[in-house]
Amino acid sequence: MIITWWPLAALAVIQLADAALCWKPVGFIRDCLVDVRFPRRFWRVLPVLKVASAAGLIIGIWFPPLALVTGVALVGYFIIAITMHVTTRDFGRNLFVNATGMLALCAATLGFVIVSM
């Protein structure tokens, strides 16, 4: 079964763009990672996770269970990110625009996948 593709494709494009920005973290991403005390030794894992999530979303267009698993993983990822922001008292733009906005987008996409199945 093929589900409507555009929400998954849109989120995949965002994840790929984010992976590119994380490859050699640009200033605002580097600052964010430092602010939440994310260990530098794990920074290289982030682009891999983001590319893997994009692949899961794209393949999920044709294999909806993978879209479901990827959506759940992304929601979990951003819940953890928000928790890290709150724990380190980083209540700025990175929390309220980036992490919370991405959580909302991922949750909406996950909801779309669930309704489409």
Q: What is the predicted pLDDT for the residue at 4?
A: 83
Local confidence band at 24 (pLDDT 50, 70, 90 cut-offs):
very high
Q: What confidence tens digit (pLDDT) does each residue in 27-83 have?
A: 999 999 999 999 999 999 999 999 999 999 999 999 999 999 999 999 999 999 999
pTM score, whole prediction: 0.94
Distances (CA, A) of 8 to 37, 67, 70, 117: 30, 8, 10, 13
Rounded Cα distance, 44 and 35, in Å: 17
Rounded Cα distance, 71 and 38, in Å: 23
Rounded Cα distance, 10 and 94, in Å: 21
Can you give the C-alpha Rg of the chain in angstroms?
A: 14
Query: With DSSP H G I counted as helix, E B as strand and the rest as coil, what are the percentages for the chain, rounded to 5?
Result: 80, 0, 20
